[in-house]
Amino acid sequence: MTTDALPGLALDRLRHYLDEVRPGLLHGPLRGETLSGGRSNLTYVVGDGTVELVVRRPPLGHVLATAHDMSREYRVMTALAGSPVPVPRTVLLCEDPAIIGAPFYVMERVEGTVYRAEQTATLGPDRARALSLAVVDTLAALHSVDPGGVGLGDLGRPEGFLERQVRRWRQQLEASRSREIDGVDALAERLEARVPAPQATSILHGDYKLDNVMVSSGGEIVAVLDWEMATLGDPLADLGLFVVYWGGVRALGGACIDGVDPGLGFARADELVARYAGHTGFDLSNLDWYVAFGCFKLAVILEGIHYRFTRGQTVGEGFDRIGALVEPLVARGLTTLDEVSEMFPEQ
């Protein structure tokens, strides 16, 4: 760790603020480092040699409207404490951008591993399969939580959720678009024309995937992370995006978001979908629409990251390859809708 200022986080200003609002929380000199991983909000671990905390703030530079909502992340994790969904313990929220240059929150540091593609081979087939099942079971558990029962009944507007989502992500695309993207407008139009009727209203994570959960040494999921896009809505929107991530996305030039490899023991996506259906009782006959929407949403998110990278506003490695993933995602979404054209006949 370093005692110097980190990109987006001045440690001296943070320490002064923590001493004011939570006196006695820290004792020795404050050190910190930027945590690896994550292509959106900036995450840091800070500590005094005894106590370790995690700080989250929005990315530097260009920030899309309604995205990177620190108060939302903080509120959802605070509300889910004690529920079947494991979350870190929250410490405090600061919405004053004058402190470190942006709103931020502080939470406990949970001990565990976030498994990314390069680490999954170390699990072994038995642990890989067990983790697969735990991941989808946790998603089903989230969707079983009563929003009103945990104080999140006003987190979003479930009525018209899917229609608004397609419109919202089209708007987000326009806010970040600086180049032509083949097929993206056609995908958005086809999604708008075929919106399915929701079966339920649930708390949605909004970006649920393997590397947004933390796993203990014993293989248990000990924390679900990155709640910046949480809301209330159709739970199959979470499941569709999860399926996109589980299968992975590849593009020309070597850029990729790696999915999980069944050859390493991970369960196939269709098996996990069936397990989710068994837990929730939801009808998944329209799931392909949600998968196509997941492709569109992820394409827009990655285009926003590419936009920030081209303007020198993104910190970290691998961002130069993100832009190459956008068109393959769009193509996958269109192909998925072609496969369900008989289910949603043209009017």
94 and 121 in a common domain? no
pLDDT of 82 reads 93
Would 345 be classed as within a structural domain?
no
165 and 16 in a common domain? no
Flag whether pLDDT at 163 surpasses 90: yes
Give pLDDT tens digits for 36-60. Answer: 644 568 899 999 999 999 999 987 7
Give pLDDT tens digits for 187-214. Answer: 999 999 999 999 999 999 999 999 999 9
CATH of the domain at 282: 3.90.1200.10
Task: Quote the pTM value.
Answer: 0.89
Contact call for residues 254 and 261 (beta carbons, < 8 A): no
155 and 30 in a common domain? no
Flag whether pLDDT at 219 surpasses 70: yes
Instruction: Give the Å distances, CA to CA, from 8 to 62, 271, 315.
Output: 13, 42, 10
Contact call for residues 216 and 111 (beta carbons, < 8 A): yes
208 and 74 in a common domain? no
Would 214 be classed as within a structural domain?
yes
The last residue of a domain, from among 108, 143, 167: 108
Where are any strands of DSSP class E within 136-251? 202-204, 213-215, 221-224, 231-233, 249-250
Instruction: Please give the average per-residue pLDDT across 252-271, as a whole number.
Output: 82
Q: Over pLDDT 90: what percentage of the chain?
A: 72
DSSP state, 219? S
Give pLDDT tens digits for 9-26. Answer: 999 999 999 999 999 999
Give pLDDT tens digits for 329-343. Answer: 999 999 999 875 444
Q: How much is the mean pLDDT over the chain?
A: 89
pLDDT of 68 reads 56
Give pLDDT tens digits for 97-151. Answer: 999 999 999 999 999 999 987 788 899 999 999 999 999 999 999 999 999 999 9
127 and 45 in a common domain? no
164 and 138 in a common domain? yes
Would 279 be classed as within a structural domain?
yes
Flag whether pLDDT at 226 surpasses 80: yes
Q: How many Å apart are CA 56 and CA 228, to the nearest integer? A: 10
- As given in the structure block, the two tokens for residue 195 are 């919106």
User: Residue 281, class by beta-carbon neighbours within 10 Å (0-12 exposed, 13-18 middle, 19+ buried)?
Assistant: exposed
**Alpha carbon distance, N-terminus to C-terminus of the chain:** 60
Instruction: Please give the average per-residue pLDDT across 314-330, as a whole number.
Output: 83
* pLDDT band (50, 70, 90) for residue 284: very high
CATH of the domain at 70: 3.30.200.20
Instruction: Please give the average per-residue pLDDT across 298-323, as a whole number.
Output: 83
Would 4 be classed as within a structural domain?
no
264 and 162 in a common domain? yes
Secondary structure element (H or E) that encloses residue 168, with its range: helix 161-176
Our count of domains for the chain comes to 2
Contact call for residues 52 and 45 (beta carbons, < 8 A): yes
- 19: containing domain: 11-108
Flag whether pLDDT at 328 surpasses 70: yes
